[in-house]
Homo-oligomer: A and B are copies of this chain.
Amino acid sequence: MPVDFTGLQCPIPISDYPNVLMAHGGGGRLTQQLIERMFLPAFENPALESLNDGAILSLDGVRVAFSTDSFVISPLFFPGGDIGSLAVHGTVNDLAMCGARPTSLSAGFILEEGLPMEDLWRIVQSMQQAVAATGATLVTGDTKVVDRGKGDGIFINTTGIGVIPDSVNVSPKRAQPGDVIIVNGAIAVHGIAIMSVREGLEFETQLKSDSASLHDLVARVLDVGGEQVHVLRDPTRGGVASATNEIASKAGIGILLHETQIPIWEEVRGACEILGFDPLYVANEGKCLAIVAREAADEVLTAMREHPLGEEAAIIGEVVADHPGRVFLRSRIGGRRVVDMLSGEQLPRIC
């Protein structure tokens, strides 16, 4: 039965945004507006409103995380990975950020007519290898083909299910003053690796995306930190700035980041300067933020550093009672500046 639109009005003022813009997919302010004004009111329910990286469900008493992500990255192949491995890492990480052990994945392919068969096959092999490394299985799939010029080679949706152990209790709302913020390594690598291919930048050594599945690192963190691990979040689109802003806003706490403590590789910093990017806003895929009670910080940091994907882990900030809902950065020279949500779109199609 068709929807009766009498008396209904589009919740995003057509006069402001008559059409969808690239920034609506950028992970910043316009994405947030789209979600908060259009999607949440339409589908309102507690799981959706938690705005976790995935939903947390109870299926006949079993606590399950369920997360979906579509991947539209350009180019399809990049140093350190391709759309196939990225599509696995992205969804596995969203499950891991819910504290779940990934068990099952689905793959939905939208292929553009004319995609070289060999490219598809390489992408599938790469997905397979990434899936095998997680211990999960890819159990169901779907393939659609669209006419030439109506897609862009291949888009992949991966959706995943994971079981959450009873001992785990992570949620953005659990961030509280006194907690510390730990990252498992240098930020902005994935975004800059992609942008440098697109812009033809050359480095002394090739910069590779750090895209990886973090399920195992997260399992170690939860093993040592238990319930003292309050929040897990992977700073993908919109980077560390957007991820911390979302947490600050949801938990009603303030966040203070320490610029000198945030690990950034020199070549990434240089590329950011050339490209005019702030590394705090650059997308990651292989990095996670753990917000943990101060008394568990050392143990969690050590556990991360002992893991191959966490050797450069560092404490980069803290949760404060001041300025609730906002993120500040204590800069290299000692000043403090606001770190806001991304308002435009600096890195289109990075995941």
Contact = CB atoms under 8 A, between A and B. Distances in A.
Interface of A: 1-3, 5, 8, 10-12, 14, 17-26, 31, 34-35, 38-39, 42-43, 45, 47-48, 52, 54-55, 57, 59-62, 64, 66-72, 80-81, 103-104, 106-118, 120-122, 124-129, 131, 137-147, 149-152, 155, 157, 159, 161, 163, 348-349
Interface of A is mostly: mixed
B117 A10 contact: yes
Contact of A108 (B1, B45, B159): B159
B125 A18 contact: no
Contacts of A3: 122, 125-126, 129
B144 A38 contact: no
Given A59-B103, A131-B43, A108 B69 contact: yes
A12 to B, nearest CB: 5
A235 to B, nearest CB: 16
B118 A70 contact: no
B68 A121 contact: no
Nearest to A145: B25
Contacts of A12: 117, 121
A-B interface, 8 closest residue pairs, ranked by CB to CB distance from nearest: A25-B145, A55-B139, A68-B106, A159-B159, A157-B157, A47-B139, A55-B140, A150-B152
B142 A104 contact: no
A68 B26 CA distance: 25
A145 B347 CA distance: 12
Contact of A24 (B31, B55, B145): B145
Contacts of A18: 116-118
A68 B140 contact: yes
Given A35-B143, A43-B141, 4 more contacts: A19-B117, A48-B137, A59-B161, A70-B109
